């Protein structure tokens, strides 16, 4: 597909990883496991791949696996009967997907870009949780971090203006996804379409587009095509974001 997805695929889909040189171990659910734990975990893991746009699970579907995002971006969305949809989580590399002890997906999960997941069968993972304190301990930490992130997002959805919402999202993507420049500069390759951004921010895609243009006019960002954003001064962007909540990782 587009340049964006090739960026993700090139690194991710080359071959399976060995846990020993997994670059996202420090943040993943297995980060607290010792060598012994990993000897038990590693043989049980397997990989799943999805193409951009593919639905991983519909809300209500049986979910027989859990996993960690290795490469790419996934989105969790909720939809009302009349079609209004709200994204409730953006899953970036190292984020955990799925819920032990629950048989069905609570939200629809979609691959936003090409995606690589490091998975365990759900039942297997539940057993590992019981026998591996380091795993369940880290999962609790991760879940509480996601809860904090969700609450930050509640502030954004409930109280921020459209401009602040856009600035907040860009600030978060710059923090976690973007390449940082020498000074306060950053470049972001947006994984999300305007519509997906709107669904995440509780806006319409037209408002997203207009506010992106407004930020460009005001010199806060520079656009190179719709999906490439340069932030000349990250501090200025954060100032536009309303300040609160930009310093935290996005919801998982």
- Binding-site ranges for DNA (CB under 7 A): 1-2, 161-163, 193-195, 202-210, 212-213, 223, 225-227
97 binds, among DNA, a second copy, none (CB under 5 to 8 A by kind): none
Q: What does the block give as tokens for 127?
A: 């057993």
Nearer to DNA, 132 or 207 (CB): 207
Nearer to a second copy, 93 or 252 (CB): 252
Give the per-residue SS3 of 54-102. CEEECCCCECCEEEEEEECCEEEEEECCCCCEEEEEEECCCCEECCCCC
Residues 213-242 that bind a second copy (CB under 8 A): 242
Residues 162-201 that bind a second copy (CB under 8 A): 201
Position among 14, 39, 40, 151 found at the interface with a second copy (CB under 8 A): 151
154 binds, among DNA, a second copy, none (CB under 5 to 8 A by kind): a second copy
Q: Where are the alpha helices (DSSP H) in the chain?
A: 3-12, 35-41, 122-131, 133-159, 162-176, 194-201, 205-217, 234-240
Least distance in angstroms from the C-beta of 233 to a second copy: 19
Position among 78, 124, 185, 209 found at the interface with a second copy (CB under 8 A): 78
Buried b / exposed e over 122-138, threshold 16 CB at 10 Å, is bebbeebbeebebbbeb
**Span interacting with a second copy, options 31-39, 60-68, 84-92, 180-188, rule CB under 8 A:** 84-92
**Distance separating alpha carbons of residues 60 and 63, to the nearest angstrom:** 9
Position among 24, 139, 166, 189 found at the interface with a second copy (CB under 8 A): 139
Contact 97, 69 (CB under 8 A): yes
Q: What does the block give as tokens for 89?
A: 């989580």
Residues that bind a second copy (CB under 8 A): 76, 78-81, 84-86, 88-89, 99, 101, 106-107, 130, 133, 136-137, 139-141, 143-144, 146-148, 150-155, 157-159, 201-202, 242-245
């Amino acid at each position: 597909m587009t340049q964006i997805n090739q960026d993700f695929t090139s690194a991710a889909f080359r071959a399976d990883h060995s846990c020993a040189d997994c670059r996202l171990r420090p943040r993943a659910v297995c980060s607290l496991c010792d060598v012994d734990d990993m000897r038990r975990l590693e043989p049980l893991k397997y990989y799943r791949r999805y193409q951009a746009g593919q639905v991983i699970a519909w809300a209500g579907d049986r979910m027989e696996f859990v996993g960690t995002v290795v490469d790419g971006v996934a989105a969790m969305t909720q939809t009302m009967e009349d079609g209004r949809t709200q994204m409730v989580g953006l899953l970036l590399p190292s984020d955990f997907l799925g819920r032990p002890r629950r048989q069905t997906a609570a939200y629809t999960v979609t691959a936003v870009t090409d995606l690589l997941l490091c998975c365990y069968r759900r039942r297997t993972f539940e057993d590992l949780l019981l026998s591996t304190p380091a795993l369940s301990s880290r999962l609790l930490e991760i879940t509480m971090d996601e809860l904090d992130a969700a609450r930050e997002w509640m502030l954004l959805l409930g109280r921020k203006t459209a401009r602040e919402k856009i600035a907040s999202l860009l600030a978060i993507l710059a923090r976690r996804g973007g390449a940082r420049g020498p000074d306060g500069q950053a470049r972001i390759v947006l994984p999300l379409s305007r519509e997906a951004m709107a669904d995440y921010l509780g806006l319409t895609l037209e408002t997203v587009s207009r506010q992106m243009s407004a930020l460009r006019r005001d010199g806060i960002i520079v656009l190179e095509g719709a999906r490439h954003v340069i932030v000349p001064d990250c501090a200025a962007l954060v100032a536009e974001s309303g300040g609160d909540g930009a310093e935290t990782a996005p919801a998982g």
